[in-house]
């Protein structure tokens, strides 16, 4: 793969930070090294001494004095080594990426830690998308993605999708306006980036089938574009085996995958990962060096210590309990929807994630209904327009999250929504 053709001028201009190089050199050196180089503060001046994090299963995550000093200090921009290596091993076990065995220049699988997958997404788009570029994505989509992409001045091309995700034949029809042979010509307008949320899509709850992913990947090969696989709900799939990922079929090194611990360990700790070809991930790390420097060392160490104790088996066992919780929540929402909404709305049962995408019958646009009338009835959902490329366009959908409210609250909420819709009709 010729990765340089995908990079923006800004990304191409990034250079390693000399200070960060010194920090990482020092961290790799023996304790006998005396460094007068780094401008790091002396942790003996920090007021924090130690900490013990009590886990619900009775275990503890301990920050003794030495660990606390490390936790409170700067660390490497790609993530602390033990977390990076733990996650790389998990990716190998879950996805068996063909790129794991490749040489760096051929797109060897690399991984870095980001402050939530939101940081990863934002930096990936800023690395790849220049003003005027054609970017492929299936909308409605996560509003945080639109917030990251739209300011870049690109031309977002909406690829139609349904409850099984992006529709490959629709993508093929869109791409037919270009000649694949032109893809690598300088100044070519052939799209270089496709973004999708393959599992438990936000807001639609849609999950792509393996067959559709394979067809999309083949189109990516034919037109030589990269695939951004934004997959924070991968671990919230209600059925096993979990769907094969784009990363698992990436024989070319053209998939950039963002993962998140937000839906399974903690959203406030802000731990995400970008997994992709080394030439691209290394470029992202240069951006991290110049922006946040790194994700909080303390939170990385807290999570990393837990994962060391749990191991992969313990981690996956925890995921099973999280999936059971959300399955019960989903089922509660579906039964309440059947009870209160079946005459006034329609929906598909999500196979993953935490959202139900509900189309209100006879309502052209839900914006006013939700932002004004629903609040009077004391029920809040997200009007579907916010997930559209052009949010001002009418949208008959609402997004309902089944993550936080109890089944009883969900039932009452849908009862109120039902009254609201019937009054509006």
Ligand X SMILES: Cc1ncc(COP(=O)(O)O)c(CNc2cc3ccccc3n(O)c2=O)c1O
Note the residues at the interface with ligand X (CB under 6 A): 116-118, 121, 142, 144, 197, 202, 230, 232, 260, 262, 267, 272
Please report the DSSP string for 108-176 in residue order.
-EEEEEESHHHHHHHHHHHHH--TT-EEEE-SS--HHHHHHHGGGT-EEEEPPEETTEE-HHHHHHHHT
CB of 261 to ligand X, least distance (A): 7
Residues 351, 241: Cα–Cα separation, whole Å: 12
Residue 116 or residue 191: which is nearer to ligand X going by CB? 116
Distance (Å, rounded) from C-alpha 182 to C-alpha 174?
15
Rounded to a whole number of angstroms, the minimum distance from the CB of residue 17 to ligand X is 24
Q: Which is nearer to ligand X, 145 or 336 (CB)?
A: 145
**Shortest Cβ 237–ligand X spacing (Å):** 14
- For residue 382, the minimal CB distance to ligand X (Å) is 7
Contact 224, 180 (CB under 8 A): yes
DSSP for 256-322? EEEEESTTTT-STT--EEEEEEHHHHHHHHHHHHHTTSSS-HHHHHHHHHHHHHHHHHHHHHHHHHH
Would you say 38 or 144 has its CB closer to ligand X? 144
- Nearest partner of 279 among 10, 9, 12, judged by Cα: 12
Q: Name the residue nearer to ligand X (CB basis): 116 or 168.
A: 116
Q: Cβ of residue 395: shortest distance to ligand X, in angstroms?
A: 16
Of 211, 136, 233, the closest CA to residue 177 belongs to 136
Helix (H, G, I), strand (E, B) or coil at 419: helix
Closer residue to ligand X, CB minimum distance, 159 or 344: 159
Toward ligand X, which CB reaches closer, 6 or 235? Answer: 235
Q: Residue 56: is it exposed, middle or buried by C-beta count within 10 angstroms (0-12/13-18/19+)?
A: exposed
In the bound state, the residue with its beta carbon closest to ligand X is 116
Q: Which is nearer to ligand X, 113 or 421 (CB)?
A: 113
Could you tell me the smallest distance in angstroms from the CB atom of residue 271 to ligand X? 8
Structure tokens at 394: 């009418």
387, 358 Cβ separation under 8 angstroms? no
Please give the structure tokens belonging to residue 417.
Answer: 């929504």
Closest approach, Cβ 184 to ligand X, in A, equals 30
Least distance to ligand X from the beta carbon of 231, Å? 8
| Edge-to-edge strand list for the sheet holding 155-158 | 109-114, 272-277, 255-260, 226-230, 193-196, 134-137, 155-158
Q: Which is nearer to ligand X, 23 or 114 (CB)?
A: 114
């Amino acid at each position: 793969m010729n990765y340089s053709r995908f990079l923006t001028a800004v990304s191409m201009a990034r250079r390693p930070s000399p200070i960060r190089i010194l920090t990482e050199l020092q961290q790799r050196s023996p304790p006998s090294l005396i460094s007068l180089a780094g401008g790091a503060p002396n942790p003996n001046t920090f007021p924090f001494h130690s900490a013990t994090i009590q886990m619900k299963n009775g275990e503890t995550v301990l920050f003794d004095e030495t660990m606390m000093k490390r936790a409170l200090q700067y660390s490497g921009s790609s993530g602390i080594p033990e977390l990076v290596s733990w996650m790389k091993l998990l990716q190998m076990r879950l996805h068996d990426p063909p790129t794991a065995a490749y040489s760096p220049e051929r797109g060897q699988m690399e991984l870095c830690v980001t402050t939530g997958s939101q940081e990863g997404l934002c930096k990936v788009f800023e690395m790849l998308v220049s003003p005027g570029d054609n970017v492929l994505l299936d909308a409605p989509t996560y509003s945080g993605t639109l917030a990251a992409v739209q300011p870049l001045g690109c031309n977002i091309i909406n690829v139609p999708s349904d409850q099984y995700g992006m529709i490959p034949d629709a993508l093929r029809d869109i791409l037919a306006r270009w000649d694949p042979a032109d893809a690598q010509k300088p100044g070519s307008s052939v799209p270089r980036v496709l973004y999708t949320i393959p599992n438990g899509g936000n807001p639609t709850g849609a999950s792509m089938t393996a067959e559709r992913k394979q067809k999309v990947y083949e189109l990516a090969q034919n037109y030589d574009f990269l695939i951004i696989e934004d997959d924070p709900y991968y671990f919230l799939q209600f059925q096993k085996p979990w769907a094969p990922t784009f990363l698992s079929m990436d024989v070319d090194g053209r998939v950039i995958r963002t993962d998140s611990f937000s839906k399974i360990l903690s959203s406030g700790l802000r731990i995400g990962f970008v997994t992709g070809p080394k030439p691209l991930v290394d470029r992202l790390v240069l951006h991290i060096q110049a922006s946040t420097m790194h994700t909080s060392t303390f939170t990385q160490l807290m999570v990393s210590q837990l994962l060391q104790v749990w191991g992969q088996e313990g981690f996956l066992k925890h995921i099973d309990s999280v999936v059971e919780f959300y399955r019960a929540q989903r089922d509660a929402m579906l039964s309440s929807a059947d009870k209160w909404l079946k005459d006034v709305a329609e929906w598909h049962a999500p196979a993953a994630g935490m959202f139900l995408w509900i189309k209100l019958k006879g309502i052209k646009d839900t914006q006013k209904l939700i932002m004004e009338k629903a609040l009077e009835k004391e029920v809040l959902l997200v009007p579907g327009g916010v997930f559209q490329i052009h949010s001002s366009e009418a949208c008959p959908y609402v997004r309902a999250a089944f993550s936080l409210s109890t089944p009883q609250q969900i039932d009452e909420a849908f009862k109120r929504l039902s009254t609201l819709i019937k009054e509006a009709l």
